[in-house]
Chain A
Amino acid sequence: MSSAPLAVSIKGLSKRFERGDVLALDAIDLDVRPGEFVSLIGPSGCGKSTLLRIIGDLIQPSEGAAEVNGKSAHQARLDRDYGIVFQDAVLYDWRTVTRNISLPLEMAGWDRRRRDERIREMLELVELTGFEKHHPWQLSGGMQQRVSIARALSFSPALLLMDEPFGALDEMTRERLNNELLRIWNETGSTVVFVTHSIAESVFLSTRVAVMSARPGRIAGIVEVDLPQPRGPETREHPRFAEHITQVRRLLREGHADEAVEGETEVALYVAEEGL
């Protein structure tokens, strides 16, 4: 285990946006071991999506570096080491479900037969068999997001980056997709880095939750989530579930102690939203 490279390794990473001279991320250190499910949680504007994009080599850090699978983030992107899922499904309107999932496989140069076979497997995995010929606008938000997950997993990347993937969905759909995501994570054995606003979601899904403070984004603390695997609806009733939620919430509040009141109310809102 110790010989395998870390899935993600971040050392002394900062990001300053030139426009407005904003320090978005400050001295971030974070290691993610292969097979882990790590959530990044924090208030709006804490830079968690920025951090995710730096891991994906979609934007460049100002200082420090991110490594993926023991390689530079840049090399990892060129090697197609990760799949990414955004808050909106970002499906291509003019492609059917099948051809949306096929897109990364086309980029990777797979031939038609291999693509078709993999797409069939993926549709089974996200339980969308029968919707092959549908266009994105004919699907519900939850189904679109499942297509987007199938697309991200289609080329079997070792790492899955998810940027608030269920943020735009209603509570019931979100819980169902949480369960599905855990099942997929168990089946594929991939590593997940998951950005979220929701405390309950982060505790339910993760093996570890990295709590971030508001601008400049720092890691305020990491909560090891010690809940039995595999998890399911009963996990939410586990006594330690509430405990972990309190831990995360406390860290969020500490991260805000020296911040403007604005941020504080934001966190309060997220907590209220979840009715915990």
Chain B
Amino acid sequence: MLVVVCAVWEAYKWIGERAEIRWPFPVNERTMPHVYDMVGQLFEPSRRNGPLLIDVLLDAALFTAREAAVGFALGASVGFLLAVALSESRLLQRGFLPYIVASQTVPILAIAPMVVVWVNPRLPESLAGWGAVALISAYLTFFPVAINTLRGLQSADPRAVELLRSYAASRWAILRKLRVPASFPFLFSALKISAPAAVVGAIIGELPSSIQDGLAGAILNFNQYYSSSPPSLWATNIVAAGLGIAFFAVVALAERLLVRRAPENVA
């Protein structure tokens, strides 16, 4: 797959340069650098006598990964607990669900600066700066988790519920032994959506926090130098995408280990 993408990129570039394609953008070394230049750039010094670009980017990715991971864990937990509360109370569901949906119609770029301004001064030293960013990640994570888990909790076969009631099972036991395990395939679909979203959320959150240590700092930086060195920004994008894929892969692996289902029921 990766090979195909690279091949298409290079083929378009090759044809575009010779046929002088002007639409949707002119094809040249600046708009579409060679794939091997992007990769090669990773192993060049980031600045004169500085460390290699890949080292700089991996440091930045690690910093962003910490924000995204904490935010993802926080958002997934909040989303899951919220779904449990909503599934157990019809009243809560009617009252709260519209607001949960509404929360996601607010553009994240608009509230990110506010979250940073509000939260940052209250954070202890160890969380300063990146803690607020994790919150923005969590904000992007909790929604798909809450909505999908809610559906999953309600997906339990009604006769399976009757069965547990026939054993005099309590509501809590029905939740624990039936509804929660029944929700796992839904939960993991949601986690797979929100894992890369948590990374995007972290990068977006870094922008208004003027955090220089993460991937957002690198993106802004190389954006400014794009005219002199296009492959650097592309290389940064590759690393950012890689981080999102890594998050997805961890969730997919956890699903394979934890969820034992009939093959046709695995999402």
Contact = CB atoms under 8 A, between A and B. Distances in A.
A135 B260 contact: yes
Interface in A88-121: 88, 90, 92-94, 103-104, 106-108
B262 A90 contact: no
A261 B177 CA distance: 46
A135 B262 contact: yes
B177 A56 contact: no
Contacts of A84: 162-163, 166
Chain B, interface size: which category? 20 to 34
B165 A92 contact: no
Q: How large is the interface on A (under 10, 10 to 19, 20 to 34, 35 or more residues)?
A: 20 to 34
A108 B167 CA distance: 8
Interface in A58-110: 58, 77-80, 82-84, 86, 88, 90, 92-94, 103-104, 106-108
Given A92-B178, A106-B177, A56 B262 contact: no
Interface string B203-222: 00000000000000000000
B265 A93 contact: yes
Interface in A107-140: 107-108, 135-137
B173 interface: yes
B181 A80 contact: no
Given A107-B173, A137-B262, A92 B166 contact: no
B167 A80 contact: yes
B160 A92 contact: yes
B211 to A, nearest CB: 42
Grouping DSSP codes into helix (H, G, I), strand (E, B) and loop, the B interface class, with mixed when no group exceeds half, is helix
Interface string B153-164: 000010110111
A148 to B, nearest CB: 9
Among A56, A94, A108: residue with most chain B CB under 10 A: A94
Nearest to B157: A90
Contact of B167 (A53, A94, A103): A103
B159 A77 contact: no
A77 B177 CA distance: 19
A106 B167 CA distance: 10
Contacts of A86: 159, 162-163
Contacts of B162: 53, 56, 58, 84, 86
B168 A80 contact: yes
B166 A94 contact: no
B11 interface: no
B167 A58 contact: no
Contact of A77 (B168, B261, B262): B168
B111 interface: no
B184 interface: yes
Contacts of B177: 103, 106-107
B169 interface: yes
B259 interface: yes
Nearest to A59: B162
A103 to B, nearest CB: 7
Interface string B130-163: 0000000000000000000000000001011011
Contacts of A58: 162, 165-166
Contacts of A93: 260-262, 265
A93 B160 CA distance: 11
Contacts of A83: 166
A77 B163 CA distance: 11
Interface in B227-263: 259-263
16 contacts: A53-B162, A77-B165, A77-B168, A79-B168, A80-B168, A84-B163, A86-B159, A92-B181, A93-B261, A94-B181, A103-B164, A103-B177, A104-B167, A106-B177, A108-B167, A137-B262
9 shortest A-B CB distances, which residue pairs?
A: A137-B262, A107-B167, A104-B167, A78-B168, A90-B159, A84-B166, A58-B162, A94-B181, A107-B169
